[in-house]
Amino acid sequence: MHELRKDPLMSRWVAVLSDSKKPEEYVLQPEEVITESNCKFCAGRENEIPYEIAAVRESGSQPNKSGWWARVIPSSKPILQIEGDLGRRGIGMYDKMNSVGANEIIIETPDHNKKPEDMGFEQMVRIIKLYKERVADLEKDSRLRYILIYKNSGREAGTLYSHPHSQIIATPIIPKRVKEELDGAKQYFAYKERCIFCDMMREELRYGQRLIFETKNFVAFCPYAQRFPFEFWVMPVKHSCAFQDIAADEMNDLGLVLFTVMKKLGTLLNNAPYNYVIHTAPNRIPRRDHWHTLGEDFHWHMEITPRLTNMSGFEWGSGFYVVTTSPEDAAKYLREA
Amino acid sequence: MHELRKDPLMSRWVAVLSDSKKPEEYVLQPEEVITESNCKFCAGRENEIPYEIAAVRESGSQPNKSGWWARVIPSSKPILQIEGDLGRRGIGMYDKMNSVGANEIIIETPDHNKKPEDMGFEQMVRIIKLYKERVADLEKDSRLRYILIYKNSGREAGTLYSHPHSQIIATPIIPKRVKEELDGAKQYFAYKERCIFCDMMREELRYGQRLIFETKNFVAFCPYAQRFPFEFWVMPVKHSCAFQDIAADEMNDLGLVLFTVMKKLGTLLNNAPYNYVIHTAPNRIPRRDHWHTLGEDFHWHMEITPRLTNMSGFEWGSGFYVVTTSPEDAAKYLREA
């Protein structure tokens, strides 16, 4: 079984897989992206992959048969497994635990070659609806502390399948990056007694030069201190710490914003690889106390990051990033695209 | 002029360059690696690049002429500039400062096609000597808080030149990643009253399965909770927080360890791209108080990371890594290579 290990210096958990790859597997067979001819996510091959967990379907269609617009399946090579207890324990000076959690794949369309920007706005809303449904279900499991929804598009963004899909990973710990963000928001709240995200959004609306697109319920902008060129954030106007509390009209609006800005991004950067991640609060059930505070000081949002450049030892060693297109210029290009 | 901006949420500084790249520059002309035919780092082209700051030369040879084994020049496109004051100021809710610091390039050999593992042990020692000399000089500047020495090898590791080289960046702030590591070490020290790195090294020597190579003064091992397959650390046996305090016999030993293990790595992974970074304490002069503590709780070392896989939205969003070759197996491959 895979195991989770904690770096005692950085307080970072990692998953160490039990079936180690050999050196030559990296060199001779670099990770292959599964293309259309081998793709089991396409419509008509439902019986070759695990049973679906959820789906948005044409009325009258049967589970695990065709007639779906978008569906969720468990990963066939999960890093985290849904069975078993956490088994936290020490080994020498180090800490480890069992690799408990969930790994799911959201197949975003039956059609292999549809890009998100061609799916249309309704399809985007269906996908968001599935995200919400899965989080609402997974957060009932008291072993799980965090649910991360993300998308990899393109090889440099770490994808293994070219069929449009996104992923859900539920972890038994609050991951390091998430904790840092929660801590940062908490510190700001302690000092200002205001949500940092609400303040940032107000600042961006006032300044205007980093804005890309806005609707009644969402604002898309390039952050002031972005890490990567053309990185942008999408944030709900109404303060809310948890993505899964999104209302129906907000889902429509989020679908519209994502559809619109992703289309601009695709046009501008010739469908460059990108990642997006939903940044939301940890699960409320196992951490009710922490949650109570989070409700005020955290604000869920999405971060979308094109992968245009390679990280160097400088970024790796320092966490200091060099931005080769200013967020003001990037926002202008995106507004005008 | 470039500017440094601070992310108010993550307390992360980034450098925003003043001359923004256009979208098509990423798409149509991805960053090109400068190969031998255009390389100005090769011997004989000394007059086409900035004057050397330091060098290790044959006795009797002249600065900026041939006859050098390794030399240091300022970057011709610096991100941080050595002139001017810091100019820390606010803008709306955000913070910025001038892009003050230093950017230097260590040309590791006159010969374009020499790999570190072919340079031989003496050449490695010359390079380490230059690192030490430059840090000792730069740390006199009281505006500079941190000096980062790193190497990028291969496109995926972020290099722009195929000529063997490493880089020095001196920053007017302590970078986020460095601060996290210092804080982690400090917390451990507060609890245990021992250096975490000394403890890790003792644990690795006791356990043995993650050891790669050891000499009188240095130990090379794969860390227990590594982030990337075949990542390894090189650590001085004697507790010391600052790389630049390295003694002459330790330089010889470090040269031997690096030469040996990099050769193994190159053989095993077919010269895959990699980064290395020297993790050392912040400059002592401007932060004497902080330094006093650091002397006990921090321990300088090197982290070497092959770049074999692409990061996905999961790693980006969570800071949680998936390791596809266990450190025990990686160390075994490296010991036996």
What pLDDT score does B290 carry? 53
Of the given ranges (A28-32, A42-46, B113-117), which has the lowest mean pLDDT? A28-32
* Tokens found for residue A229: 């060129």
| pLDDT > 70 in chain A, percent | 95
Residue A251, chain B, CB below 8 Å: the answer is no
Q: Which residue has the higher pLDDT, B153 or A32?
A: B153
Is 3.40.718.10 the CATH classification of the domain at A3-20+29-336?
Answer: no
Is B96 in contact with B6 (CB distance < 8 Å)?
A: yes
User: Looking at chain A from residue 181 to 240, which residues have their Cβ under 8 Å from any Cβ of chain B?
Assistant: 181, 184-185, 188, 196-197, 199-200, 203, 206-207, 223-227, 229-230
CB contact under 8 A, B181 and A9: yes
Q: How far apart are CA A269 and CA A307, in angstroms?
A: 10
What pLDDT score does A84 carry? 87
Q: How far apart are CA B204 and CA B194, in angstroms?
A: 16
pLDDT at B325 over 90: yes
Summarize pLDDT for A212-250 with one digit per residue, the tens.
999 999 999 999 999 999 999 999 999 999 999 999 999
CB contact under 8 A, A12 and B269: no
Is A201 in contact with A232 (CB distance < 8 Å)?
A: no
| SS3 of residue A334 by DSSP | helix
> Looking at chain A, which residue has its C-alpha nearest residue B33?
A310
Interface test with B, best of A19, A26, A178 (most B CBs within 10 A): A26
- Number of Cβ within 10 Å of residue A95's Cβ equals 18
- Number of Cβ within 10 Å of residue A319's Cβ equals 20
**pLDDT band per the 50, 70, 90 thresholds, residue B287:** very low
Mean pLDDT of A314-324: 92
Summarize pLDDT for B41-93 with one digit per residue, the tens.
999 999 999 999 999 999 999 999 999 999 999 998 899 988 889 999 999 99
| pLDDT > 90 in chain B, percent | 81
Of B92, B225, B272, the CB nearest to A27: B272
DSSP B176-243: HHHHHHHHHHHHHHHHHSS-HHHHHHHHHHHH-TTEEEE-SSEEEE--TT-SSTT-EEEEESS--S-G
Residues of chain B positioned with their CB less than 8 A from the CB of A16: 225, 323, 326-327
Interface test with A, best of B150, B310, B336 (most A CBs within 10 A): B310
State the amino acid at position A296 in one-letter form. Answer: E
Starting at the earlier edge strand, list the strands of the sheet with A321-323. Answer: A321-323, B12-16, B3-7, B94-98, B89-91
Mean pLDDT of A320-333: 96
CB contact under 8 A, A325 and B22: yes
Residues of chain B positioned with their CB less than 8 A from the CB of A319: 12, 175-178, 180
Summarize pLDDT for A45-70 with one digit per residue, the tens.
999 999 999 999 999 999 999 999 99
* Model-level ipTM above the cut of 0.90: yes
Of B171, B207, B229, the CB nearest to A21: B229
Q: Domain-by-domain residue ranges, chain B? A: 3-20+29-336
* Tokens found for residue A62: 């049967």
> Looking at chain A, which residue has its C-alpha nearest residue B20?
A325
Of B22, B155, B326, the CB nearest to A310: B155
pLDDT at B284 over 80: no
Which residue stretches of chain B are H helix? 23-27, 116-119, 121-138, 176-192, 196-207, 248-268, 288-297, 313-318, 327-336
pLDDT at B296 over 90: no
**pLDDT band per the 50, 70, 90 thresholds, residue B294:** low
Q: How far apart are CA B258 and CA B290, in angstroms?
A: 30
User: Looking at chain B from residue 83 to 142, which residues have their Cβ under 8 Å from any Cβ of chain A?
Assistant: 92-94
What pLDDT score does B293 carry? 58
**pLDDT band per the 50, 70, 90 thresholds, residue A286:** very low
**pLDDT band per the 50, 70, 90 thresholds, residue A28:** low
pLDDT at A292 over 60: no
Mean pLDDT of A269-274: 92
Strands B146-153 and B218-221: unpaired
User: To the nearest whole number, what is the mean pLDDT of chain B?
Assistant: 92
**pLDDT band per the 50, 70, 90 thresholds, residue B286:** very low
Interface test with A, best of B20, B192, B195 (most A CBs within 10 A): B20
pLDDT at A287 over 60: no
Angle of CA points B330, B179, A279, to nearest 5°: 80
Burial classification of residue A129, based on how many CB atoms lie within 10 Å of its CB (0-12 exposed, 13-18 middle, 19 or more buried): middle
Mean pLDDT of A94-116: 93
| Nearest CA-CA distance, residue A58 and chain B, Å | 30
